[in-house]
Structure 1
Amino acid sequence: MARPVTNAAFEALLHAAGYGNAHAAFARQLNHAGRNYGTWRYDAASVYWWLRGRRPAEHVQATMAETLARKLGRSVAVLELGFGAGEGTGTSIYPASAGQAIDAAERLWTTLAKHIRPPVSGTFDSGKALQAALGWRYDLPDKTVSRNGRQPVTTGDIQSLYALADHFTDLDRRHGGGSPHTRALMADFLVRQVALMLRGNYTDVVGRDLLRAAATLSGQLAFMSYDAGDHATAQHHTTVALRLAKAADDRLHGAHLLANLAAQAVHLGHARDAARLAEAAIDGAGRAPAAVLARLYTTAATAYGQSGERRACQVALAKAERALDRTGLSVGPRWVNYFGPAHLAGAALRCLGDLHLYTQALRHAPDAITLSSQNARTRALHTALIATIHARAGDTDAACDWGRKLARHAVGVHSARVEQRVRELTAMLSPQQALPQVSEVLYALSTVPAAT
C-alpha cells in the first residue's frame, strides 16, 4: 500500500508543471539541471519519497525550484517546495563530523552563488560562536578523512586552490568585500569545483590538505561577507571553515578562523564574548609560530580594550609586540604573512582609543599607515581611526586633515567597515560643521562609496 503524500505543496507544483503523473520525467530534468554538481541519479522513486516527507539537500531544492520555474514560466521560491528549513540552514551550528561540514559548506556556497535568500535570516550569534569554539577545541580529531568518490584528487589540484585563495585575498584587500558579485563569483567556483573535489576520491593525507584548502577559501569568503556587513553569512561560513580546519588537523588555521570570529564580535560590540573567543584561539594554537601569536594576541587586545579591561589590554599588546619582534626567527603559515607592524599599530590605535588613552593611541599612527599598496582597505580603516581619535581628543584641525586623507584612500574601496568608520567620523565632526574646514571635509566624506 502506497504511503500518503505529506508534502502537498510539492505535489501541487508537480501537477501545475505537468509532472503530476510523470515523476520519472521530472527526475530526468532535475538530473540534467544538476549536472554542475556531478552525476545525480534521481528517479521516480526519489520523487515518491520527497512527496512523502524525505528532505533533499538545499542545493538540490534550489535546482528543483529552477526546473519547475522553467516549466511554469514564473519564478519559484525554494520555500514554495514545502520542505521547510533544514538543520544548519540559516544557523551557525558547528558540524559534528567532517562529512556534515562538507554538506553544510556546499549548502552555504550554493545559497550565496545563486543569490538565494536563506530560509532563516539572522545576525551574529555570540552563543553559537562560543559553542563552535568549544567544539573546535575539545572534540576528538577525525580518525580519517579519506573518500572513495568518482573524481580523483591530487596534490597538484589542491595547489591550484591555494593560488585561487591568494587571488581572492588580494582582491579583498585592494577593493573590500562589499561587492556581492565578487563573493558570488567565488562561491560559484566553490560549488562547481571545490565541492566536487570534496566528494571525490582521495587518501587521508591528500584529503586533509584538500580540507585545509577548502577551509582557507571558505574562511576568505566569510571574511569578505563580514567586511560587506553580511554578518550572519560571515558567521555561517567561518563556522563551517572552522570545522573543515579541524578535520584537516590544522590547529593554527583553526585558531586564525576563531580570531576572525572574535574580530567580528568586537566589530559588533560583543566585547566579552570576543575576549573568550580570542582566549580560546590562543589556548588552542599552543606553541605557535611568532607571527600567529602576534595576530592572536592583537585580537585579544582589541576585545579587552572595548570591554574596558585596561590591564589585560596592555598585557596582550605587549605580548603581541614581543611576538612580532620574533617573527624573523620562525616561518609562519602563508595566511599570516599579511600581519605586520602596521596591523598591530592599527589595533593599538583602536583599543587604546577605546580606553580613552588618546595620546598613547596616536603614537601608533605613523606605523599604522605604513602599508603596502595592495592594503587599500586597511589604509582607509586606519586613516579613519586616526581621524576619529583626533576628533575625540578635541583636535579638530588634525581630524580634518586625516578626514581629507580618508576621503582619498576610500576611493575604490567597497567596505561596510570603512563606511561605518566614515559615519563615526562624520558624527564626531558634524556639531562643528559651521567651520569651513569641517564643512569641506564633511562634503568630501559624503562622496565615499557605499559598501554594495
Structure 2
Amino acid sequence: MTTEEYLSTIDALVVQPFPEVTYVDPSGEGGLGHHVRELQVSRDFWDDDNGQAWVEAEADLRTCLDDLAARLTARWGSAYVVDLGPYLSTGCEGELVPEPLDYLSQQVVTMQVWPLPDSGRWLALAIGQADKELPLILSVTLAEIGMGEAETIDASVGLDFARDPADAVRVATTFWSSVNRRDFLTGTGSGFAASAFITPVTRWLVTPADETADHRGGKQVGQADLDELRDAADDSRRWDSKYGGGNWKANSVTTCLTERAAPLLQGSFTDSVGRELFSVTSELARLGGWTAFDVGEHDAAQRHFIQALRLARAGGDVQLGCYVLTTMAMQSLMRGFASEAVDMAQGAYERAKGQAVPRVLAFTKLIESRAHARCQDPRAASRALTASEDLLGQADERAGDEPHWIDFYRHSRLSADAAEIFRDLKNPQDGPRLEQASRRHGPWRVHPLCRHAPRDRRNGPPPGPRSGPWTRARQPVRGHPRPRPVKPGQGLCPGVQRGPRPLAARAGRPRLRAAHPQGT
C-alpha cells in the first residue's frame, strides 16, 4: 500500500466509534475505548539465520512510518514519543495495565503519539514484534485520552544510577521518552540539585566499568548502526560548537536517543559491539545534557549527565566516564556548588589516572582549578592549573591515540579558562593580558622554568633554547630577538636579575607560569 492509502485507513479509523466489547480480527484488535489496526506486516524470520532479512524488513517499515509521521505532524503538530517499557514492567509484576497499553507494550518499544484536537482521543504509530521469529508489524492505534496515573511523570525519572546494566537501559530510555514532554520541567521538581549527584558519583567511583556488555534481545546490532550514532554525535558536536546548544540540530539529540539509540540498546549485540554502543550512546546523552544546559534546563541537563555516566560504565569506557564526571563537576560549579565540584573533579582524575589519555586528565585538572578559584583557594587553583598545563604538554607530544570528543581542549582553551580563574581570584588584570597574548601568538605552551619572567613583555616572548618546547615552528616575528641557548639556572630574560617575586607571592595571587607561543 502507498502512503496515501495508509492515510485513508487512518482517516476512516479516526471517526469510528469504539466497540463495547473486545474483538480480534485479521486487521487488528480493539475493545472498550480503543482500536489497533495493522497497516503493514512483514514476513516471518524463522529461517533468517544471519538477520539480514530482519534488517531489510525493519528498514522498509521504518521508511513507511517516517513518511506517515511527517504527514500527521503537518496536520496535528509534533508527536510525543512514549516509552512502553514501564508498562511492560508493571504488567510483568502482576499489576493491572490498561488497554491498549498492555497489548502494545508486549510488542512495541516506543510509539509516536498525537493528541487529536477537540476529540478526546490520541492516535499512535509504532513498529512492533511479538517475538524475534515473528513478523514485524507497523500499526496505528486510536484510543481515548486518559492514561491516568500510568502517564504521570515520576519526579525521579532520570536521576537513578542503576546497578544492573539492564535496569540502566530501562532508566535511560524512560527518561529520554519523557524529557521532551511539555510537562516534564513542571512535573519533575524545582531544578538542579547537587545532592542528586551523590549516588551516581559514588557508584561510578566504586565501579567505573561493568564486566560485560553483551545482550540478547531484538534486532542484531552491527557496525552500520554504530556508525549512524557516531555520525549523529559528531554532527551535534559540530553544531553545538558553532551555534550553541539552542540550535535545532543540537536539539535533535534527544530524538536520536529515543528513536535510534533506545531500540538498539534493547537489541542483540556481542560484548565488543555492546561496549561501542554504550559508549557512543553515552556521548550522545552528554551532548543532550549540554544542549539542555545551554538553554537553561538545568534539571534535564543533570539527568542527561547521570545517564551518560551510567552508560559509560556499561561500555567499560573509563576515560569517557572521567570526562562525563568532569562535565558534571562543571555543571555543579556553574550552579554555585564549587566545593562539590572540587570533589567530583578530583575523584574523576584519581579514578581515571593511568587509564585516560593526558588531554582528558588535563581537562579534569582545569575544571578542578576553576572550582578551587571559586572557593578562593589560590594555591590549590595554581597547583591544579599547573598540572593541567603539564598534562596538555604531554598530550601534544603523543597526539593520535585520543578520543575525538576531547580534541577541543587546546592551549587556547587553557588560556581562556585561566583568565576566568584570575577573575574569580580577584586578580583580573592578569587574565586579559594572557588572553591578548594567546590571540596574538596562537596556542601557548608553558615551560616549567619560566616562573620568574617579568610581567611586562611588550617586546615579545623571552628568548629560549633553539629546540624543544620553547621554539616556535614558524619564523620569529619581526622585532623579536632570535632564540639563544640558556643554561639551567640562568635568568630567562636578558637583563633581568634572577629571583624576582613570582606571581603567586604577589598579594597571594596564583602563579600562572609565563607562557610561550607554540607553532600552529
Measured in 2, the distance between the counterparts of 1:315 and 1:258 equals 20
Deviation at 1:123, TM superposition (A): 1.4
Q: Deviations over 1:256-308 (max 9, x none)?
A: 00111111111111111111111111112112321111111001011110111
Q: Deviations over 1:364-420 (max 9, x none)?
A: 212565899xxxxxxxxxxxxxxxxxxxxxxxxxxxxxxxxxxxxxxxxxxxxxxxx
Please state whether the residue corresponding to 2:252 is helix, strand or coil: helix
Task: Check if 1:106 corresponds to 2:169.
Answer: no
2:76 is aligned to none
Q: By percentage of residues, which structure has more strand? A: 2
Q: Deviations over 1:171-197 (max 9, x none)?
A: 001111124x44442222222211111
Q: By percentage of residues, which structure has more helix? A: 1
2:120 is aligned to 72
Deviation at 1:102, TM superposition (A): 1.5
Measured in 2, the distance between the counterparts of 1:101 and 1:38 equals 18
Deviation at 1:95, TM superposition (A): 2.1
Task: Check if 1:134 corresponds to 2:202.
Answer: yes
Structure 1 pair 77/268, CA: closer, same or farther in 2 (3 Å)?
A: farther
1:436 is aligned to none
Query: Is contact 1:130-1:273 (8 Å) kept?
Result: no
- Residue 97 of structure 2 is aligned with which of 42, 50, 57? 50
Measured in 1, the distance between the counterparts of 2:220 and 2:285 equals 22
| Count of paired positions | 352
1:345 is aligned to 415
1:273 is aligned to 340
> So what's the TM-score if we normalise by structure 2?
0.59
Q: Deviations over 1:70-127 (max 9, x none)?
A: 9625899999622375667445222222222212222222224455535313311111
1:177 is aligned to 245
How is 1:120-131 mapped onto 2 (pairs within 5 angstroms)? 120-131=188-199
Unaligned 5+ segments in structure 2 are 1-16, 24-28, 41-60, 66-80, 124-142, 443-520
- Residue 36 of structure 2 is aligned with which of 29, 35, 45? 29
- Residue 428 of structure 2 is aligned with which of 358, 378, 394? 358
Q: Give the AA of the match of 2:30.
A: A
Query: Is contact 1:85-1:120 (8 Å) kept?
Result: no
Deviation at 1:341, TM superposition (A): 0.9
Please state whether the residue corresponding to 1:25 is helix, strand or coil: strand
Query: Is contact 2:158-2:306 (8 Å) kept?
Result: no
The runs of 4+ residues in structure 1 deviating greater than 3 Å are: 17-24, 30-43, 45-48, 54-57, 60-71, 73-80, 84-91, 112-116, 181-184, 367-372
Q: Percent identity?
A: 21
Query: Is contact 2:83-2:110 (8 Å) kept?
Result: no
1:314 is aligned to 382
Query: Is contact 1:255-1:281 (8 Å) kept?
Result: yes
Measured in 1, the distance between the counterparts of 2:372 and 2:223 equals 41
Between 1 and 2, higher relative CO (CA 8 Å, sep ≥ 6) is seen in 1
Q: Which structure is larger by alpha-carbon Rg, 1 or 2? A: 2
> So what's the TM-score if we normalise by structure 1?
0.68
Structure 1 pair 116/86, CA: closer, same or farther in 2 (3 Å)?
A: closer
Please state whether the residue corresponding to 1:50 is helix, strand or coil: coil
Measured in 2, the distance between the counterparts of 1:211 and 1:61 equals 18
How is 1:30-429 mapped onto 2 (pairs within 5 angstroms)? 49-51=96-98, 66=114, 72-73=120-121, 81-83=148-150, 85=152, 89-113=156-180, 115=182, 117-118=184-185, 119-139=187-207, 141-179=209-247, 181-287=248-354, 288-330=356-398, 331-366=401-436
Q: Give the AA of the match of 1:347.
A: D
Measured in 2, the distance between the counterparts of 1:243 and 1:356 equals 37
Deviation at 1:216, TM superposition (A): 0.7
Deviation at 1:247, TM superposition (A): 0.7
RMSD (Å) for aligned C-alpha atoms: 4.0
Please state whether the residue corresponding to 1:82 is helix, strand or coil: helix
Q: Give the AA of the match of 1:256.
A: Y
Q: Give the AA of the match of 1:285.
A: A
Structure 1 pair 246/61, CA: closer, same or farther in 2 (3 Å)?
A: closer
